[in-house]
Amino acid sequence: MIFLLGILLGLGLAPQDNRLHRLELRVQGPLSEVRLDCGSAGATLWRGEVLGGESRVLTLPVPVSKARAGELKIDVRGGGSADVESWLVENAPLPGFLHSRSAPGPIPPVRRLGLSAALMLVLAGVGGLGLRRRPRWALVWGSAGALTLVLLPRTEPTTPGALRIFEGQREGQNIRWLRTDAGIASLILPEESSLLRVLTPALAPGQGSTPINFMVDDGGSGGAGGGDLIQVSTPAGTRLAASFECRRLFGILQPDLLGFGTLARVWSRGLSGGGDDPWIHHGPWALGTVLPDPLPGPAPPGWLSAGLPQGRGILLARVAGTGPGGGDPRAESVWVRMVGFGELGRWPVRRPLDR
């Protein structure tokens, strides 16, 4: 049991508490800044402008639930006041398939030695052994080898530092879509976000949970609670993932027609109905065309293909470009992971990439 739990933790599959909660805060002007201090859990900073005599209700994110409301301290800048009016009802849970799959990357952007650097390291070691009876020459050789290693290029990490993944699963004749944004140490969340998970904690000394700080800039939102975007910051090295269910627009994502958006690289599995089908690489898939024939190519990324069910049609793909427009924060890469691909005929499905 302990061994299984270790595997789940390593894959990022262990249950994660939601760190995104919301409350309604009534503010009385004049004020320009409100800070909600939640102790070791983090804080929320709201910046805006409330005039003297003006009263508004702000809907703000906080890193703790109502159960820990006693830890909340409110500081106001500008002479006004602020009081909690109510805690909002918890968001409806997202579909279980989100938790049963491997969480998306990224990994910390640590550069690794390339092949040339590795060969240089071996050469330096062999030369050092040959000069072990000549200390001065060994020192010169070792210094030259160290300098060369510093100057040689490193390989890039295998997953990007910030990414977006659209999770689709067919349930009967419908498809449910979730969007998950992932990043390291910081994220910008759309207002629709309902789940924020800490995938790899980076705890400060003496703290039991990773501190999360929200920053909300009013930006002329008319008192709705801070505009459309929420900035999140955490200690360096923390892996974050924020999710919400997509409910807008339609398109077609079937083997006989792609109306979802151009895909730069595509893999499929299980289209023949077999439970042990291998992954098939298809290369790029152009908008408005049928699924390309199999091509020689690499296997799909491990973090994207892990935790998927057997015996169902599956599509994995990287979207061409760096993400949708419409004011959303851009990701370094955008991916699609769909379970139930090709199981029915042509059917209109939600197309979150056009949000």
pLDDT at 156: 43
Residues 264 and 345 in one domain: yes
The residue ranking higher by pLDDT, 235 or 133, is: 235
Residues 275 and 312 in one domain: yes
Amino acid at 302: G
Residues 286 and 343 in one domain: yes
Domain boundary among 241, 262, 289: 241
- Give mean pLDDT, residues 235-240: 88
Range scoring the smallest mean pLDDT among 217-221, 258-262, 334-338: 217-221
Contact 233, 202 (CB under 8 A): no
Of the ranges 1-15, 107-121, 281-295, 321-335, the best mean pLDDT one: 281-295
As a whole number of angstroms, the distance between CA 105 and CA 165 comes to 10
- Give mean pLDDT, residues 161-183: 85
Residues 46 and 140 in one domain: no
Q: Extract the tokens encoding 233.
A: 């910051």
Residues 192 and 237 in one domain: yes
Q: How far is CA 304 from CA 30, 141, 277, 315, 318, in A?
A: 50, 44, 17, 11, 10
Q: Name 62's bridge partners.
A: 21
- Give mean pLDDT, residues 210-217: 94
**What are the two backbone dihedrals, phi and then psi, of residue 202, each rounded to the nearest 5 degrees?**
-130, 90
Residues 273 and 296 in one domain: yes
The residue ranking higher by pLDDT, 329 or 70, is: 70
As a whole number of angstroms, the distance between CA 239 and CA 108 comes to 8
Residue 24 belongs to a domain:
yes
Tell me what the pLDDT averaged over the chain comes to.
77
Confidence of residue 350 (pLDDT cuts 50, 70, 90): very low
Contact 127, 148 (CB under 8 A): no
* Bond prior to 63 in cis (omega within 30° of 0): no
Instruction: Calculate ∠ Cα 99-104-108, nearest 5°.
Output: 135
Residue 99 belongs to a domain:
no
Residues 83 and 188 in one domain: yes
Contact 236, 186 (CB under 8 A): no
pLDDT at 158: 46
Residue 167 belongs to a domain:
no
As a whole number of angstroms, the distance between CA 141 and CA 146 comes to 9
Q: Counting Cβ atoms within 10 Å, is residue 285 exposed (0-12), middle (13-18) or buried (19+)?
A: buried
Residue 56 belongs to a domain:
yes
- Give mean pLDDT, residues 167-194: 87
Could you give the percent of the chain with pLDDT greater than 90? 32
Residues 341 and 275 in one domain: yes
Residue 57 belongs to a domain:
yes
DSSP 4: H
Q: Extract the tokens encoding 230.
A: 């929420």
Residues 205 and 326 in one domain: no
Residues 141 and 267 in one domain: no
Residue 313 belongs to a domain:
yes
Does residue 354 surpass a pLDDT of 90?
no
- How many domains would you assign to the chain? 3
- Give mean pLDDT, residues 211-226: 70
As a whole number of angstroms, the distance between CA 168 and CA 46 comes to 34
For the sheet containing 314-319, what is the strand order? 195-200, 239-246, 174-184, 162-171, 333-339, 314-319, 263-269, 280-285
As a whole number of angstroms, the distance between CA 328 and CA 72 comes to 30
Residue 5 belongs to a domain:
no
Q: Counting Cβ atoms within 10 Å, is residue 187 exposed (0-12), middle (13-18) or buried (19+)?
A: buried
Residue 198 makes CB contacts below 8 A (sequence gap 6+) with: 16, 19, 209, 210, 212, 234, 238, 239, 240
Confidence of residue 250 (pLDDT cuts 50, 70, 90): low
Residues 265 and 207 in one domain: no
What pTM was computed for the model? 0.74
pLDDT at 15: 42
pLDDT at 254: 86
Domain boundary among 194, 213, 241: 241
What residues make up the domain containing 291? Answer: 250-354
Amino acid at 277: D
* Residue pLDDT, tens place only, 36-69: 999 989 999 999 999 998 999 999 999 999 989 9
Residue 192 belongs to a domain:
yes
For the sheet containing 250-254, what is the strand order? 257-258, 250-254, 348-350
Contact 241, 257 (CB under 8 A): no
Residues 219 and 312 in one domain: no
